[in-house]
Amino acid sequence: MNRLELTGLTARPSQVWGGIRLVPLVREKPVEGLRLHQEVYVDGGSGIVELGPRTHYTSYIPHGFVADWSGEGAGSAAYGTQLAAHGEAGGAPPRTVRLPRHRHHRMAKRRPGDRLRFLPLHLALEGYLSLHFGGPSTAWEEWSRQALRDGLSPRAEDAYLGWSVRGLDDALRVFEIHPGQCGVMVYASDALAAAFVVPHPDDYRLLHASLLQDLYGELVHQYAMYGAPVADFGARIADGPGLNTLAGLRAAAREQEREWSEAHDTLFARELLDTSYGFDRVYRMGSFTLWRFLPPFLRNRGGQHIGETITDPMGRVAYLKTFRLSEAQIRRGHLLQRLADADWQLPRAAAALGATEEELVRRIRAAGFESLLRARG
C-alpha cells in the first residue's frame, strides 16, 4: 500500500463561495462495521499529548475522534457522545458531550470495547514533526552537542485555524449537505487545501462543521485571503434528440455530473491520489487499520500532503484527513530526508543534493535547523 484508494466515493459538482471550492464526496453505501464519533474538550485551546518519556506534543486540540468497530452501529455510544438510531422516528438528534480538558496520553488510545480515541490531524502533524527527530546518529564533527544530545527537540511548525481561512466558514454554512455525503475536498483558489472522509453519512453531518477547527497550512491561508474568486460549476446541455422529455433532460444532467466527477479526479485531485506515500501503521482495529502517511518531499512537484487514514482489508479509504504542506515545510522534509539518507554526513548529503558543503550549511540554517550545527570560528 503506497497510494490512497478512494474507491466507492464519487465527486459531486463543486460548490463555490468566493475563492473557496467545496467538492462533496458521496458513497453509494456506507462503510459497514465502522462509525466515527466526536468528543469535544472544554477550553481546548491548549492541549498537551504525552508521546513517551520526556517527549510531548503541544497544540490547539479542540476535539478527538472515536472510531467504533464494535458493529453495534449508532445504537451504542462511546464516552463523550450520545447517538440516536439512524431514521428513528421522533428521536432527538445526536449531540456531542463536552469533556473537561486534560493531558492526553498518546495520539491514539484504546477505549473500553472496540473503540479507539485518536486526535484528528494532530496524528499526522506529529508524524511530520517526528521526521528524523533523533538527529545525527553518529557524532560527526559538524554537529553540535545539542544536536547529538537532543536531536531536533524542540521541533515546531506554524498552522492556521480553519476559522481564519477566509470564506471557509460561510461556505460550510451556506451549502447543503448531499444525501449520502461522506466527505469533502476543500480548495482555496483551486489549490487543494484538505480532504476529509468518514465512513457514514450520519458521521459526516455531525463532523461537517469540525473542519473549521482543523489546522491549515500557510499557503492555504494566503490563497484564501488574497486569491481571486474561482469559477463555479455550470452544466451546459446542448440541443439534441431526447431533450424534449424530463427523462432526457435528467439523463443529460447526470452525464454532466459524470463528466465533472471525471474532470475533478483528473485535474483537481491528482496531486493527492497520484502520489506515493510512506505509510506508518498506528493501530489495527479488527479488520480496519489506522495509518498516518508522509509524502516523498520532492522539490518542484506541486502540492504535497501529510495525513491519516483508516482503511478496510482491501486498502480502501474509510476515513481520511489531510494537511497541505507549505513550500518551506516541503523543503525542510526534503532536507531531513537527504541528511538521514546520507547518515548525516555533510559531504555525502551535499553530493546527493548536487551542492557544496557550504551551500548545504546555508540551507540547513535557512531551514531553521541552525542549532544542529557546531559553531564555526
User: In this predicted structure, what is the pLDDT of residue 84?
Assistant: 34
User: In this predicted structure, what is the pLDDT of residue 53?
Assistant: 81
**Least confident piece of the model among 30-39, 132-141, 222-231, 259-268:** 259-268
- The three-state secondary structure class of 268 is helix
In this structure, are residues 158 and 219 in contact, taking their beta carbons and an 8 Å threshold? Answer: no
Give all strands of the β-sheet with 55-59 in edge-to-edge order: 55-59, 47-52, 104-105
Helix axes 346-353, 357-366, angle to 10 degrees: 90
User: In this predicted structure, what is the pLDDT of residue 233?
Assistant: 66
pLDDT band at 70 (very low <50, low <70, confident <90, very high): confident
Buried b (16+ CB within 10 A) or exposed e, 299-337: eeeebbbbbbbbbbeeeebbbbbbbbbbebbbbbbbbbb
Neighbour tally for 374: CB within 10 Å? 13
Q: In this predicted model, which residue has the larger pLDDT, 349 or 263?
A: 349
**Least confident piece of the model among 153-157, 232-236, 332-336, 354-358:** 232-236
Q: In this predicted model, which residue has the larger pLDDT, 53 or 313?
A: 313
Cis peptide before 94 (omega within 30 of 0): no
Location of C-alpha cell 484508494: 5
The mean pLDDT value for 20-47 works out to 88
In this structure, are residues 311 and 317 in contact, taking their beta carbons and an 8 Å threshold? Answer: yes
Tell me the pLDDT tens digit for each residue of 152-180: 988 999 999 999 999 999 999 999 999 99
User: What backbone torsions phi and psi does residue 352 show, to the nearest 5 degrees?
Assistant: -65, -30
Decide: pTM greater than 0.75: yes
Determine the residue type at 237.
I
Residue 81 has pLDDT above 70, yes or no: no
Four-CA torsion 173, 179, 182, 186, nearest 10 degrees = -40
Report CA-CA distances (Å) from 276 to 130, 279, 293, 327: 20, 9, 10, 18
Nine cell digits for residue 98: 463536552
pLDDT band at 248 (very low <50, low <70, confident <90, very high): confident
The mean pLDDT value for 268-296 works out to 93
- Residue 22 to residue 12: CA distance in whole angstroms: 10
- Residue 156 to residue 129: CA distance in whole angstroms: 7
Neighbour tally for 107: CB within 10 Å? 25
Nine cell digits for residue 298: 520532492
Residue 30 has pLDDT above 90, yes or no: yes
Nearest CA to 186 out of 297, 294, 122, 268 is that of 268
Neighbour tally for 42: CB within 10 Å? 10
Report CA-CA distances (Å) from 282 to 124, 233, 279, 322: 10, 39, 9, 16
